[in-house]
Structure 1
Amino acid sequence: MSTPHSRGDASPLIELVDITKTYSTGEMAVQVLKGISLKIHPGEFVAIMGQSGSGKSTLMNILGCLDRPTTGQYLFDGRDVSTFDRDMLALLRREAFGFVFQSYNLISMSTAVENVEVPAIYAGLGREARRDRAEELLSALGLSERMDHKPNQLSGGQQQRVSIARALVNGGQVILADEPTGALDSRSGEEVMRLLSDLASKGHTVILITHDRDVANNARRLVEIKDGQIVADGPTPRALAQTAPPPVAARTILVPEPGQDTGWTAKELLEAFRMARRALSANLYRTILTLLGIVIGVASVVTMLAVGNGSQQAMVERISAMGTNLLVIRPGAPGQRNANGVATLVPDDAAAIARVPNVVVAVPEFSGNMTVRAGNLDYQTQITATTPDVQAARAWDLASGTFFDQEALGQYAPVAVIGQTVANNLFPGQDPVGRYILLRNVPFQIVGVMAPKGANPGGQDQDDVVFVPLTTGSYRLFGRRDLRTITVLVDDLAVIDETQAMITSLLIARHQAEDFQIRNTASFIDTLSAMRETMTILLGSIAAISLLVGGIGVMNIMLVNVTERTREIGIRMATGARARHVMQQFLLEALLVSALGGVIGVVLGIGISLFLTLFKVDIQLTLPPMLLAFSCAFATGLIFGYTPARRAALLDPVVALAAD
């Protein structure tokens, strides 16, 4: 940092050497400033006067580091400003300059005290300290009763006093006042000029830009500019009338050094979050509209994935009801289309398979359709001759009674266990246990009723069945010993393929030929699960498109937001905001909208999913899809909010301030 200066110092605070400024539009170039050379010492009260179009406002923008000259040299406290990058210029504006504009340039959605605090935020002053400083300045300027009023609730004179307080909150060593009385009545104008004169007398360097000679005469030095050139430079009548210059306190001018910018900090992010929240609250209707796209997208993701996962789980449960770790062995060589008439499997094969490692049970089965009679009722159903192990293989419980045992199997007992569908058709509203049915005119006593099982993946009703002992069925009903299937229940599903290979080798050795087929239900389940996962991905993709559309909506709204708040961006830059500060605020606004939309969308998605359960829709709500949907919403805000935020951060301060 540089050393303190006083008005009596020989070295100037501001020195312009042959400054020019040319604006180019296509092939047309207009030179506004034509070789301006000017020195301003600390503590001076200088008026730069000129008519409209003379270049005085352009000169002020260059003096305030809002704009850069085309050619020439600008030295501030001995440092060449042309070597400063955007952020160093912002630091210089923050530390050294205070701006007072003709149109006040207050942030419309902020109160008077919040407007005054803005430069102190970018200076890193604590929340309580800057609030105390802002209130102190406003009270000193007679606005103690108006601190919580927004600009549209203040008169022109009051707004200008707020802008003066803002210019002083960081010290305001150099006050740049651009037509400060231009929009005021004569009384308010006199009050403002009195304030500026008081600041000059206290050691502030005041540079007044005006077209009014009466206003300019309040200064002690008058620089007249015409057609981009200085035509006069000397003391004002007021200065000439003074016998001696008023005493001026020494001022400390802070010039930034390279590397002074330390980068993003938690404190900065917290302040940016507060400003973003305030901005979103000020435009509540627009914020709600922006939220809708994100909410709908996230809710769609949560609901569709819940439906997809629920359907997949329901399918797996139905298959699991059959037994997921099963090997089903059928007669007939591999590739043979119809092996029903082929006699290759016998009960001894099942007994041999049961001794293979990792096999829990091997259940021989023979089945066929028959007419069952109970009293005067006839019913066509499937008769399955099997062993008691079928319960374990199919994971099927009893609703009432018992299942026939090995003793019944050995005695060729005429007993039966029926499914719920058979029970409902033959014994409606009655307990079938202990009653008799006729199968091929052979009476079978019902000893048990199976619990409801439902349909299998092929749509066949599993409850439409009658189980009888394998020996009884072979001898009394079907008249044959060969089997239709052998169902094998394995213990460790991880090695089911190895178990299948051992059974294949065993049967080939027994039959001296591969006259059988083995179906692995675990692979069948994997195939169905893969199909369901594909459908889930499809549903999730459709929902993701909704989220993408919501993200594009966020970007569009943020771009409009940047356009509408261009002047606010210029004000913040003029008061010390660096590119990253502007980036932080607008990016956090997008992230806040997306995060809030994500939370609401997740809650709404859960609500819709729970509502669908009332209509018997299979739903499975799990945490990962919710986190995925929220993360996607947050990422959407980050991705689609970046372009508008970057656009705002790269705006030229002087162009932004000139926006309507």
Structure 2
Amino acid sequence: MQSLIALKDVSKTYFNGDLAVEVLHDISLDIEAGEFVAIIGQSGSGKSTLMNILGCLDQPTSGEYLIDGERVSCFDADELAALRRRTFGFVFQAYNLIPTASAQENVEVPAVYAGVPAHNRHERAEALLKSLNLGERLDHRPSQLSGGQQQRVSIARALMNGGRVILADEPTGALDSQSGREVMALLREMNENGHTIIVITHSREVAEQADRLIEIRDGRIIADRAKKGRSNPEAAFGLAQRTREGLAAIADVSEAVKMAMRALRANLFRTILTLLGIIIGVGSVVAMLAIGTGAQDSVLSRISSMGSDLLLVRPSMANFRGSAGGSNVTLVPADADAILELPNVAFAVPEMTSTVTLRRGNIDYQTTANGTVPQFVEAKSWPVGRGEFINSDDMEGYAPVTVLGQTVVKTLFPDGSDPIGQYVLVNKIPFQVIGVMSEMGASAGGNDQDDVVLVPLTTGSMRIFGQRNIRTITVEVKDPSAIDLTQEKIQALLNERHKKEDTQITNMSSVREAFTETSNTMKLFLGSVAAISLLVGGIGVMNIMLVSVSERTREIGVRMATGARRRDILVQFIVEALVVSAIGGAVGIVAGLGTAYVARTFGMPVSFTAGPVGLAFGCAFLTGLLFGYLPARNASRLQPAVALSAD
């Protein structure tokens, strides 16, 4: 009959630089299904190395290792993991339980990597623990269990996937005499149920309880003595057939997340410090982009309210500098009339402004007077709130009438009385209030647009400003697509009328585009500054993951011994990094939105949109993925035997 396990001239050599140390020398060994075998030897004899090779935790340097006639030496890492998952169960001297998991969760680990559904895992783990008299300890962590109880949990874990071959490494070494006897009795019972048992020990008393005793010294088998035949190979074969293959992967993402949460809770303070980096980075991105977008939207709305189909004509700055007090400024109301005659011009609104002092009763107030024409409300998209606006009769009759801004009304009429029909003094000249403008708020430059009095251009020129030159002409075009051509025609017209180029024209559409470009650049700058914080947080994630891999090396070895493939380990640690980033990202979003909300309560323009939130969270997630990959990759490339021997 073909042996279950066969080693043919197996040797193992370890290399330390140029130094080669041969630990096993041409070991040949056959173990049949259903045997109870003890391998005995002193420390340094090579028995642990032999166990690692038998359990596919390590591979021989030379020779052949066959399981059921299948050559194991040509298997890759994932195939070896699958073989361990479906064939072997491990019982370790140090128990090697995951300290952050409960007894039931520890037992379920092999089934997780076998792809067994959660409810099936729970039922089998519970049944195994109850059969080992641990039914009252399902939710206890290893630190809450005695040594004997921990070893029984380790045995239940070894049986979780069927455990056709149970490899027990010094199973009684860390136990008292009574617990040791109980564990050996359990191993005997498992053998009688068809499991092949291989015990690695240095104790002659323990070894004598096996049916076959193999003695190893200096890497060679010096004795192989069988006390009686094998137990029940047929039962063992049937049990192996019933072992579930599953998907050989973590059963679902939720299981990986649960593992991650357990690991993060184990070092809560360190996790919180790592989260702070992500929180600050994400919060900064959200808050800065919300405030930046709000400021941009506010200014653009002001510009848009003026209209993107507007041209603003004003005297050139060079002309201002070349004259004292602006006396040589030649822009006059007639220029507006001439511009109105050009094609594609809807209207041309001339304006002149000056600082004036208002008086009503015993209240004096300094503000800006604006002499304008009836088309002003259309040109500025600024409707009258109450009363009426200046009309053509007021213009022709030089009427002393005025329309007040909301700020002026609040200042001059603090008692809340209706200003319509009342008189105010403008530079000691009485003007009747005929209307009140609707509220506009601050301009793009931050100036209060409601702090103004509007008077007929003709009246203002004669009675307030003392000059006929105007400061600006606002031109609205009929077809915005031809605004550039219209601008050129207006400039040519004014140059011809003035016999020189003493005016400049601002295209509000160009202003909007220029501001948008500048604002986007500023937002990019602010976002980059915030991204630096996110980068720092990412480095923190990488640091915590590197430390976590270092601290949990033995746990990684246990997971590999129970069937985890390299990509399972890779996924687990990447998920841990992503969980940190996701939690930090979520808290950071709340903090960022809260900061932006507080800023809005202080009067700052803020825009809450999904874009910055999604961008910030996506960046946090990507940060976790990028910075978590290297530690996860390092963890996945550990050799099981090396990881299990880590301190």
In the superposition, the TM-score normalised over structure 2's length comes to: 0.89
2:375 is matched with 389
Equivalent residue number for residue 95 of structure 1: 86
Q: Does 1:115 align with 2:102?
A: no
Residue 470 of structure 1 and its aligned partner are, at CA, apart by: 2.9
Asked if 1:204 corresponds to 2:191, the answer is no
Distance change (3 Å), C-alpha of 1:558 and 1:12: same
User: Which one of the candidate residues 45, 51, 65 is aligned to 1:60?
Assistant: 51
Match of 2:389 in 1: 403
Q: Secondary structure at the match of 2:162?
A: coil
SS of aligned partner of 1:145? helix
Residues 69-120 of structure 1: per-residue CA shift (max 9 Å, x gap): 1222212222221110100000011111111111111112222222221111
1:315 is aligned to 299
- Taking the TM superposition and a 5 Å limit, the aligned residue runs for 1:415-454 are 415-419=401-405, 429=415, 432-436=419-423, 443-453=430-440
Q: Which residue of 2 aligns with 1:195?
A: 186
Q: How does 1:76-225 map to 2 (within 5 A)?
A: 76-225=67-216
In the alignment, is the contact (CA less than 8 A) between 1:409 and 1:470 conserved in 2? yes
Name the residue aligned to 1:612: 599
Name the CA distance, whole Å, in 2 between partners of 1:263 and 1:204. 22
Q: Which amino acid aligns with 2:578?
A: L
Alignment of 1:555 onto 2:542: yes
What's the secondary structure of 2:90's corresponding residue? strand
| Post-superposition CA distance 1:554-582 (Å, at most 9, x none) | 11111111111111111111010111111
**CA–CA separation in structure 1 for the residues paired with 2:108 and 2:526:** 50
Q: Could you say which residue in structure 1 is the equivalent of 2:236?
A: 251
Hey, what's the Cα distance between the residues in 2 that align with 1:375 and 1:68? 103
Q: Do structure 1's residue 535 and structure 2's residue 522 form an aligned pair?
A: yes
Seen in structure 2, the aligned counterparts of structure 1 residues 357 and 632 have a Cα distance that, compared at 3 Å, is farther
Distance 1:441 1:140 in 2: 105
Whole-Å Cα distance in 2 between the matches of residues 376 and 190 of structure 1?
107
Aligned to 1:522, which of 506, 509, 518? 509
Per the alignment, residue 573 of structure 1 pairs with 560
Please give the per-residue CA displacement for 1:418-468, whole angstroms capped at 9, x wherever unaligned: 445665676665655434456688654332344455554556654554433
Contact 1:333/1:514 (<8 A) preserved: no
Query: Separation in 2 of the partners of 1:261 and 1:134?
Result: 16
Q: CA separation of 1:469/1:229 partners in 2, compared to 1, >3 Å: closer, same or farther? A: same
Change (3 A) 1:385 1:117: closer
Q: Equivalent of 1:632, from 619, 632, 639?
A: 619
Cα deviation, 1:453-500, whole Å, max 9, x if unaligned, reads: 555455665455443323334555667655443211345655533442
Is residue 652 from structure 1 mapped to residue 639 from structure 2 by the alignment?
yes
Residue type of the partner of 1:548? L
Rounded to whole Å, the distance in 1 between the matches of 2:310 and 2:593 is 36
- Cα offset, 1:289, TM superposition: 3.1
Once the two structures are TM-superposed, the CA of residue 591 in structure 1 deviates from its matched residue by: 0.8
1:361 counterpart (347, 358, 361): 347
Name the counterpart of 1:290. Answer: 274
Question: In structure 2, do the counterparts of structure 1 residues 646 and 246 end up closer, same or farther at CA, with 3 Å as the change threshold?
Answer: closer
Other-structure match for 1:5:
none
Write out per-residue CA displacement over residues 200-220 of structure 1, whole angstroms, 9 at most, x where no aligned residue.
233322111111222112222
More moved, 608-617 vs 295-304: 608-617
Summarize deviations over 1:151-173 as a string: whole Å, max 9, x none: 22222222222222211121111
Which structure 2 segments of 5+ residues have no match? none
Q: 1:426 to 1:567 in 2, by over 3 A?
A: closer
* 1:17-36 alignment runs, 5 A limit: 17-36=8-27
Residues 188 and 516 of structure 1: is their aligned pair in 2 closer, same or farther, counting only changes over 3 Å? closer
Bigger drift between 193-202 and 373-382 goes to 373-382
- How far, CA to CA, are the matches of 1:115 and 1:164 in structure 2? 11
C-alpha distance after superposition, 1:255-274 (max 9, x if no partner): 99xxx997878x44343233
Q: How many residues align?
A: 641
Distance, in Å, in 1 between the alignment partners of 2:175 and 2:317 is 103
Which residue of 2 is the match for residue 4 of structure 1?
none
Could you tell which deviates more after superposition, 357-366 or 146-155? 357-366
- Structure 1: where are the runs of 5+ without partners? 1-8
Once residues 75 and 335 of structure 1 are traced to their aligned partners in structure 2, the CA distance between those partners, rounded to angstroms, is 99
1:509/1:588 CA distance change after superposition, 3 Å: same
Which deviates the most, 461-470 or 105-114? Answer: 461-470
Change in CA separation of 1:564 and 1:468 when aligned onto 2, cut-off 3 Å: same
1:301 — aligned with what?
Answer: 285
Identity of matched residues, %: 57
Change (3 A) 1:563 1:434: same
- Conserved? CA contact 1:331–1:342, under 8 Å: no
Q: For 1:122, give the aligned amino acid.
A: Y
Q: Residues 592, 377 of structure 1: CA spacing in aligned structure 2 closer, same or farther, 3 A cutoff?
A: closer
Give 1:596 deviation, angstroms: 1.6
1:469 counterpart (442, 448, 456): 456
The answer to whether the Cα contact below 8 Å between 2:64 and 2:73 also exists between their aligned partners in 1 is yes
* Counterparts of 2:102 and 2:356, CA distance in 1: 88
Aligned equivalents of 1:635 and 1:82: distance in 2? Answer: 39
Whole-Å Cα distance in 1 between the matches of residues 604 and 450 of structure 2? 23
Distance 1:204 1:64, change over 3 A: same
1:414 counterpart (396, 400, 410)? 400
Deviation at 1:53, TM superposition (A): 0.8
SS of 2:180's equivalent in the other structure is helix
CA, structure 1 residues 325+342, in 2 after alignment: closer, same or farther (shift >3 Å)?
Answer: farther
Q: 1:44 to 1:369 in 2, by over 3 A?
A: closer
| Distance apart, 1:333 and its partner CA | 10
Q: Give the corresponding residue for 1:546.
A: 533
CA distance in 1, matches of 2:180, 2:425: 114
**1:334/1:517 contact within 8 Å kept:** no
Q: Is the 8 A contact 1:552 1:640 kept in 2?
A: yes
Aligned equivalents of 2:424 and 2:328: distance in 1?
Answer: 30
> 1:511-536 CA distances to partner (integer Å, 9 max, x unpaired)?
78755421223323333333333332
Do the aligned residues in 1 keep the contact of 2:115 with 2:246 (CA within 8 Å)? no
What does 1:597-608 correspond to in 2, within 5 Å? 597-608=584-595
CA contact (8 A) 2:114 2:247 kept: no
> Shift of the alpha carbon at 1:56?
0.5
For residues 278 and 465 of structure 2, what CA distance do their matches in structure 1 show? 65
Question: Is the contact between residue 158 and residue 166 of structure 2 (CA under 8 Å) also seen in structure 1?
Answer: yes
CA distance in 2, matches of 1:93, 1:50: 24
Mapped partners of 1:578, 1:253: distance in 2: 26
| C-alpha spacing 1:111/1:372, structure 2 compared with 1 (3 Å) | closer
Query: Does the Cα contact within 8 Å between 2:315 and 2:331 map onto a contact in 1?
Result: yes
Q: Deviations over 1:40-76 (max 9, x none)?
A: 1222222111111111011110111101112222122
For 1:220 and 1:192, locate their aligned partners in 2 and report how far apart those are by CA, in whole Å. 16
Question: Retained in 1: the 8 A contact 2:114–2:248?
Answer: no
Cα-to-partner distance string for 1:306-360 (whole Å, 9 max, x where unaligned): 2222333333344455555421123569988558444654545433433555544
Q: 1:304 to 1:380 in 2, by over 3 A?
A: closer
Kept in 2, the 8 Å contact 1:77–1:255? The answer is no
